[in-house]
Amino acid sequence: MRNLLFRPLLSFPLSICIAHAHVFSCPVSCSVVQVTLMSWGNVVISKVHWSGSVVTGLDGTLHLAGDVKATEKKLTWLDGSAAAQADMVPLSFVELDTLVTVPKVEEGVDFESIVNPKTWFETAGMGEAALRSVKKGDTIQISRRGFFIVESLASVPSQGQGPESATPMQLILIPDGRQKQMSTLGTKVDKAKLVGAK
């Protein structure tokens, strides 16, 4: 088993991509909010662009003089330039829940009545091009998300198509036993309801 930790070369583009969950974690109802972009600095978000109930963009100004310790939200980001987006790797984050709904299977219990009806949860995402260097079976850490096993690699995008045309890299979350998530990028498995959770 190879354990890999990526420290990519950082470039600071004019536009960036952040997770949609991050956008909803910010208090966008106020006119101005300051957040921290990990490995960069603070940004003052001045406007949120909506299309119905979907956020399509944010306007912000870099504020490097801001106090990183004073901001509530720390956001991870990817280069949003057209070149970087074309080279992104499509991802499928997989979370597995428990197979049964009770802590201990008692003798005489109808097994069908305690089987968890849904144990497989997937969330789509995009990752930086550095993920192309991993191999199936590698254990990797996704910043502020957790550790994952690479179950399958992404396919190459169709000729002339963007990364969304490829089959995504499948990453299976390695449970860490924590009740609290590492970031606002939440989980679809309710850890409080897991068997044996305290």
**Predicted confidence (pLDDT) per residue in 127-141, tens digit:** 999 999 999 999 999
Q: What is the pLDDT of residue 31?
A: 57
**Residue 58 pLDDT exceeds 90:** no
Task: Tell me which of 154 and 163 has the higher pLDDT.
Answer: 154
Q: Are residues 97 and 145 in the same domain?
A: yes
SS3 84: helix
Q: Are residues 94 and 122 in the same domain?
A: yes
Of 37, 52, 79, the one marking the end of a domain is: 79
Q: Is residue 150 part of a domain?
A: yes
Number of domains in the chain: 2
Q: Are residues 41 and 72 in the same domain?
A: yes
Entry pTM: 0.71
Return the biggest CA–CA distance within the chain.
66
Domain span including residue 38:
16-79
Strands laid side by side in the 33-37 sheet: 54-62, 41-51, 33-37, 74-75
Of 79, 97, 126, the one marking the end of a domain is: 79
Task: Tell me which of 28 and 69 has the higher pLDDT.
Answer: 69
d(CA 148, CA 137): 10
